[in-house]
Structure 1
Amino acid sequence: MAECTNCGGFTKFNGGLCFKCFKKNNQQNEVEVAVLEEESETQNKTVEVGLSAKDKNYRYNMIKGRIAETLIQELFLSLGYNVFHYGMENTIPGIMELLKGVRSDVANEIRRMPDFVIQNPKTNEVFFIEVKFRKSGEFLPKHLPKDYPYSNAFIILVSKKHIKCISVKELEEGKEISPSSRNYLGSRKEFELDKDIIIDFCNFAIQFFQGVE
């Protein structure tokens, strides 16, 4: 009589398995195959934890820009200026998020809107202000968007060491802000600023941006 090679029970074929052992063996193989397939899928998956590199960079730059904007806003408020948010992000919160990747004339116009309108309390004169942060301390004519519509605006550049200012007209004439240039915000006669207060805010900038890349 043929015996099962596993349990010694009855089987129809020499060297084979009985029905019970055959069924048990197949079930075990199926489980092992399923486990192996699951492990293989897990190993092949690229699991992204947290923000993507692109989104992380976007958020990081957004935070730097907003810190710089707040710094300049508080600087002018401390000097008695009236400061009004002007950019579309302040008029319609979240719109800049919706415009990520959108390329159109309208989208470009929205992006170009200056950050603030400020008013000198002594003269009532108003100014468009665009705030930028640059670790390099540079703002060159090529950094100005093509056909920038606010030719009477001022660019205030916050860096890790200085707060400098240049008008859009000066940029269009080929002038620039560089680490060695002396176009400090406190030297702009248009604003009649207290240089000591600006020095205080420069020190704030050094503290806030010391470890910024």
Structure 2
Amino acid sequence: MPECIVCGEYTKFNGGHCYDCYKKENNGKEVKLKDNAIIEDADDFNFDGGLDDKQWNYRYNMIKGRIAETLIQELFLSLGFNVFRYGMENTIPGIMELLKGVKSDVATEIRRMPDFVVQNPNTNEVFFVEVKFRKSGMFALKDLPKDYPYRNAYIILVSKKHIRCITVDELEEGKEITPTSKNYLGSRKEFELNKQVIIDFCNFAVKFFEGVE
């Protein structure tokens, strides 16, 4: 039975709060309830049952992606790298929300921007980094947007057990990430990363993504 992460009382979702604890953390602010689920932004909800399927999938996948991005950002920062958020969502917060459903060349280019620029403190070399989460632990050329322009980018794939890395050039050569491939992030000589630190962050990934679909 799902329990509140604060008091242990029943709540609708694992990892959530019961109504009373939610109110305490939000200074007693009243919230609307639908079948014991807490609703903060009525515009996102279908009151016949919460988020509609499209909104639910969009929010769920966005959260997974942001957790994976944060893991990789903190991994590089912990090893002394300079890390700069590069994607347009970081330059103009909220722009990706505005571009939902917009089909134009400019919107497409914005969506394709890599997540980070990272700089190796030992060599001062800089790299484009795109972070992806895949429960399957698989990534191939077909998973990139068509005509992806950042051919010198590194794709870092976070799965429920491993953190692997492949370049766009390698994908175009026919290589790919699979659950049994050996293209681990710690094997990339360009980054010179501490493998034990990567193992630590893999353990974080196991905790954060346990039960994720």
Alignment TM class, shorter chain as reference? 0.7 to 0.9
Q: Among the aligned pairs, what percent are the same residue?
A: 80
Structure 2 partner of 1:8: none
- State the distance in 2 between where 1:138 and 1:97 align: 27
Structure 2 partner of 1:205: 205
- State the distance in 1 between where 2:90 and 2:209 align: 24
Structure 1 partner of 2:11: none
For residues 49-198 of structure 1, what are the structure 2 equivalents within 5 Å? 49-198=49-198
RMSD: 1.0
Counterpart of 1:84 in structure 2: which amino acid? F
Per-residue deviation, 1:47? 5.1
More helix by share: 1
- State the distance in 2 between where 1:105 and 1:174 align: 27
**Partner SS, residue 48 of structure 2:** coil
Per-residue deviation, 1:49? 3.4
Off by >6 Å, runs of 4+ in structure 1: none
Distance 1:93 1:47, change over 3 A: closer
Give ranges in structure 2 of 5+ residues lacking alignment. 1-45
Give ranges in structure 1 of 5+ residues lacking alignment. 1-45
Distance 1:101 1:125, change over 3 A: same
Per-residue deviation, 1:107? 0.6
- State the distance in 2 between where 1:47 and 1:126 align: 48
Per-residue deviation, 1:104? 1.0
Structure 1 partner of 2:4: none
**Structure possessing the higher radius of gyration over alpha carbons:** 1
What do residues 114-168 of structure 1 show as CA deviations (whole Å, max 9, x unaligned)?
0000001111100000000000000011111111110000000000010000000
What do residues 73-108 of structure 1 show as CA deviations (whole Å, max 9, x unaligned)?
000000000000000000000000011111111111
Q: TM-score, normalised by structure 2?
A: 0.77
- State the distance in 2 between where 1:173 and 1:104 align: 29
**Partner SS, residue 123 of structure 2:** coil
Counterpart of 2:72 in structure 1: which amino acid? I
- State the distance in 1 between where 2:161 and 2:187 align: 16
Counterpart of 2:117 in structure 1: which amino acid? V
**Partner SS, residue 129 of structure 1:** strand
**Partner SS, residue 130 of structure 2:** strand
Counterpart of 1:143 in structure 2: which amino acid? D
- State the distance in 2 between where 1:94 and 1:139 align: 27
Q: TM-score, normalised by structure 1?
A: 0.77
- State the distance in 2 between where 1:95 and 1:131 align: 19
- State the distance in 2 between where 1:122 and 1:142 align: 34
Per-residue deviation, 1:50? 2.1
